[in-house]
Amino acid sequence: MKRISLLLILASVSAIVVPVGADTTWIAETGSWFKEANWNNNLPQANKNAYVLNGGTVQVDGPGAVVGGWTDNTWLYLGNAGADGRLEILPGGHLTGTIRVAYTGGTGTIIHTGGTWEAAARGLYLSGASNSYSRYELYDGASITDAGYLILAGAGTGELIQYGGSISTRLDYPMRINGSSGDGIYTMHAGSLAVWSMYVGWKSGSGGSAIWSITSTNVDITIADVPEYPGTSKFVLGGRSSVTYNSFNYLIAAEGAPGETVLIHMVASDHENRCPGKDGKDAQLAGLNNITLQFEGTFTTGRTSANTFEVAGKDLECDPVGLTNNFALEGLTLGGPEGSAWVKLIDEADNWKDGTGNEVLYVEKLVINDDGSRLDLGGLWLYYMDGDVFSVGDGKVIDSVGGGGICLIPEPATLAVFGIGAIGVLLRRRRV
């Protein structure tokens, strides 16, 4: 009888004790992650959820902070409906784990001034719910490493502002500016970005926007394939599948001093453009006029075919007017530090809704390095203003399909010499 009573007492005691390693919630105003009294159930643990929902600020001011995990879908939650949360990662701090900011509403903020956030595969999800707002500020000396998905905005507004520091993703995980119907904003003032794939836009919902604003040439951007998954890396403008004409907006803004360009290294990576062009939509990507894509190392990751480049420009023939908006690039370079590049032009997305196979590429400056790099026109046309004189069959430019061509656009001053009557004759290229 006494034994049974003792067992009942022990069972009652164990029922009211919160187990170590369970989910935990922040209960302080501002303080250190590593002070147990700041949490209601010990420190956060790997593969467990932690919540900062009281308007407080948790500071990672040393090494060894862990939370959540991708295998069991657990996270650090900052803010929810009707409540805010803030995380500060300070110099010397190191956090390993997964984070959802304003995932179900409210406001969430991350200020990352130093140290490292090791994102542990799943990574970061900003503003999953409508009417939510989240903000991540990354500064010089701070780093995001081993990131899985970096998703800026589901249905709310999510901003990533990079003042410096570095961001890198792991293996086959992309960075996505906008997840569905929200507003995703990535402003890059300085620092470095190294990703497997970049999507400016994702599902092309009925509303929302995807914005990548690069305010300086003082950036280092690489989109690179990986040997573990060769031939899968992409830089995608627009949704995942087809061009969609609705209220969804895309914006690429890039700035630099005269004579400078925003350089994006495309290491064995493909480029897709699924953004609409008609009704002035092409002007939303006017920032491409200040960007140079440098393709390099096509076969270094084990892929066996050329990189592809989705052309999206409306064919205005060999005329400088085609370089204004029209998805025109400031520069296209083949070959670089990672090795030679083989690039093939394709036209699978009907950006202008006027039929596939008739869109073209306009480039301010075209460079094909003497390292075995090759451009395959794929039956399409490329127009450029500056660079060597290229022609089909010259060893650097081929046309495996036939019917395409390449044209060096005359300078506007040259056109004036010929006179208005001769301009049409000079610019019109022949179709075979």
Per-residue pLDDT tens digits for 70-99: 778 899 999 988 889 999 999 999 999 999
Helices (H), 51-169: none
Residues in the chain: 432
Calpha distance 195→273 (Å, rounded): 18
Instruction: Give the pLDDT confidence score for residue 250 in this predicted structure.
Output: 82
Residue 137 DSSP label: E
> CA angle at residue 240 from 235 to 241, to 5 degrees?
120
Instruction: Give the pLDDT confidence score for residue 89 in this predicted structure.
Output: 98
pLDDT at 244 over 80: no
Instruction: Give the pLDDT confidence score for residue 155 in this predicted structure.
Output: 85
Calpha distance 141→272 (Å, rounded): 33
pLDDT at 102 over 60: yes
pLDDT at 408 over 60: yes
Nearest CA-CA partner of 112 in 85, 69, 142: 142
pLDDT higher at 14 or 397: 397
Instruction: Give the pLDDT confidence score for residue 218 in this predicted structure.
Output: 92
Helices (H), 93-180: none
> CA angle at residue 45 from 40 to 47, to 5 degrees?
125
Residue 240's H or E segment, with its range, is: none
At 424, the pLDDT band (50, 70, 90 cuts) reads very low
At 146, the pLDDT band (50, 70, 90 cuts) reads confident
At 22, the pLDDT band (50, 70, 90 cuts) reads confident
**Which 3 state secondary structure label does DSSP give 425?**
helix
Residue 108: both structure tokens together: 């969430």
- Taken in order 166, 170, 174, 179, the sign of the CA dihedral is negative
> CA angle at residue 62 from 56 to 68, to 5 degrees?
65
The 3 state secondary structure assigned to 288-341 is HHHEEEEEECCCCCCCCCCEEEECCECCCCCCHHHHCCCCCEEEEEECECCECC
Count of beta carbons in the 10 Å neighbourhood of residue 247? 10
Question: For residue 337, with 0-12 CB atoms within 10 Å meaning exposed, 13-18 middle and 19 or more buried, which class applies?
Answer: exposed
Question: For residue 370, with 0-12 CB atoms within 10 Å meaning exposed, 13-18 middle and 19 or more buried, which class applies?
Answer: exposed
